[in-house]
Amino acid sequence: MNPRQKELVQSSFAKVAPIAEQAADLFYGRLFEIDPALRPMFPENMKEQKIKLMQMLTAAVKGLDNLETLVPVVRQLGARHTGYGVKEEHYGTVAAALLWTLEKGLGEAFTPETKEAWVVVYGILAATMQEGASSAAAAGA
Ligand code: HEM
């Protein structure tokens, strides 16, 4: 991730913040459309989940300025995801739903360069979560 990519992710996410609720609706709608088998992993009532996801994304995007603090938090998030039944292959499905949501939410502001920046940043988050999951598994957690 270079400074320009960090800036693009932060400035584009700031545009999604005012429509966070709709963005979360779009995201989970798309996620369960791509892979309906994921639906039963989540609670029936998604209200809180939607808030938690947007809060965590907000913290992660802000945290790009301070990776030493962000990384342990994201590793722990990844370790908890093992307990939710999340497997490595699911991260690609979530990436697809996220990029689709950003495209819907941002329209023309979601330029190819902005999309590439999100691909890079999501890749870092997903890899860090997966690392957290594997080291927790290795430690027998
Ligand atoms: C960047 C990627 C992701 C972020 C930021 C994220 C964020 C979150 C957050 C904040 C929670 C609330 C609980 C907690 O903090 O432990 C959560 C729960 C959950 N996430 Fe994720 N997640 C990501 C990727 C995924 C993926 C790839 C899946 C696979 C389908 C997934 C499935 C779930 C499930 C099933 C729950 C638990 C729902 C429940 O039982 O309450 N997440 N996620």
pLDDT at 141: 66
Three-state secondary structure readout of 68-92: HHHHHHHHHHHHHHHHCCCCCCHHH
Give me the amino acid identity at 30: R
pLDDT per residue, tens digit, the chain (141 aa), is 999 999 999 999 999 999 999 999 999 999 999 999 999 999 999 999 999 999 999 999 999 999 999 999 999 999 999 999 999 999 999 999 999 999 999 999 999 999 999 999 999 999 999 999 998 888 886
Residue 88 CB less than 6 A away from ligand 1: no
Do the Cβ atoms of 53 and 96 come closer than 8 Å?
Answer: no
pLDDT at 25: 97
Do the Cβ atoms of 117 and 61 come closer than 8 Å?
Answer: no
| 60 φ, ψ (degrees, to nearest 5) | -70, -40
pLDDT at 139: 86
pLDDT at 140: 81
pLDDT at 127: 97
- Which stretches does DSSP call E strand in the chain? none
Residue 85 CA to ligand 1 centre (angstroms) = 10
| 85 φ, ψ (degrees, to nearest 5) | 90, 15
Residue 77 CA to ligand 1 centre (angstroms) = 8
Count of beta carbons in the 10 Å neighbourhood of residue 16: 21
| CA 49, 72, 124, 8 torsion-angle sign | positive
Token pair listed for 62: 């802000």
Do the Cβ atoms of 88 and 54 come closer than 8 Å?
Answer: no
How many whole angstroms separate alpha carbon 97 and alpha carbon 101?
6
Residue 74 alpha carbon, nearest atom of ligand 1? 5
